[in-house]
Amino acid sequence: MVSAPAFIAIDWGTTNRRAYAIAADGAVIDTLRDDRGVLSVPREAFAGEVADIRARLGDLPILCAGMVGSTRGWVDVPYRQCPAGLDALADGLVWVEPGRTAIVPGLSVNGASVSGDDRSDVMRGEEVQLLGAVAAGLAPADALLCQPGTHCKWARIGGGRVTGFRTAMTGEMFALLKGHSLLGDFLTGAVADGPAFRAGLALAQDDRLLSNLFGERAGVVLGHRDLGDTAARVSGLLIGTDVREQALDAGEAVYILADAALGDLYMAAVTAAGGVPVLLDSHTAFAAGITAIWKAYDGR
């Protein structure tokens, strides 16, 4: 017998969104995905957007996570400061439509309060997946988790709470180089795990990112390297630098929340750095995290 959905969850990013109809026990009943990210929705249109989703998935309460709670989204929802767990996210829900639609807060790192220096960081949406991975038993309560993407998140989990995290602009840097740099015309080839990508990983160990990036163009101009390999090599150089900055211990497990294509690249990079990668299903993690937040709120 198919369970009836109890609520709808929306993982609402900058360019895309995914909605889930979820049963009280956390089972996903139905999903939909489209390109109606926050950048394509005017602030005054968010109420209409969630009404459309209800029309498709059911007239149910909705929990939204992600950039919908940013300054560019529906309302600017205050961050919860690390260390924080699922209970803190439930406490920080902001109901934009009382009893009908709420937005999950993101997490922040505020300088010396966590890191011992003046570094600051923020995330919106990733916190649900991170803590959901632990809630679902996909990752242990004490772990290092990685969420590759435009802005790659590296989060330390302790006792089932996010104790701190760092964001690397890895994917955005590749996009900027491709669209707005001297390297742009050289980054047209495919990016996949292979000899060219692994060469980029090895090059990252030089710790000379900026000069090595220019060297990729020079190598093609001088005929030392194939133009078609440049994108994979530069991707390896950027991802290898990203992973190298984490200073992994030998044999340290890294739980990676990503789709298969990007996950494979980070798995290769983590292995090359001496770590042990474990690829997780990010959608399962999100569903588990948002369900735990729903239960924490609904049980009050």
Q: Kindly list the structural domains of the chain, giving each domain's residue range(s) and its CATH number in brackets, ordered by start.
A: 5-139 (3.30.420.300), 170-280 (3.30.420.310)
Alpha carbon separation from 142 to 35, 134, 256, 285 (Å, rounded): 35, 9, 14, 16
Span 78-118, pLDDT tens digits: 999 999 999 999 999 999 999 999 999 999 998 755 445 67
Alpha carbon separation from 116 to 110, 111, 113, 295 (Å, rounded): 10, 7, 7, 34
Q: What is the pLDDT of residue 2?
A: 65
Average pLDDT over residues 68-87: 96
What pairs with residue 18 in β-bridges? 11, 33
DSSP assignment of 175-242, as one string? HHHHHHSTTGGG--S---SSHHHHHHHHHHTTS-HHHHHHHHHHHHHTTSS-GGGHHHHHHHHHHHHH
Query: pTM score, two decimals?
Result: 0.94
| CA 178 – CA 16 distance, rounded (Å) | 21
Span 12-38, pLDDT tens digits: 999 999 999 999 999 999 999 999 999
- The three-point CA angle 9-12-13 to 5° equals 150
H helices of 3-151, where?
46-57, 86-91, 126-135
Average pLDDT over residues 115-130: 87
Span 154-182, pLDDT tens digits: 999 999 999 999 999 999 999 999 999 99
Question: Does the structure show a pLDDT above 70 at 1?
Answer: no
The pLDDT mean for the chain works out to: 95
Alpha carbon separation from 136 to 93, 127, 141, 160 (Å, rounded): 21, 14, 11, 11
Question: Does the structure show a pLDDT above 80 at 199?
Answer: yes
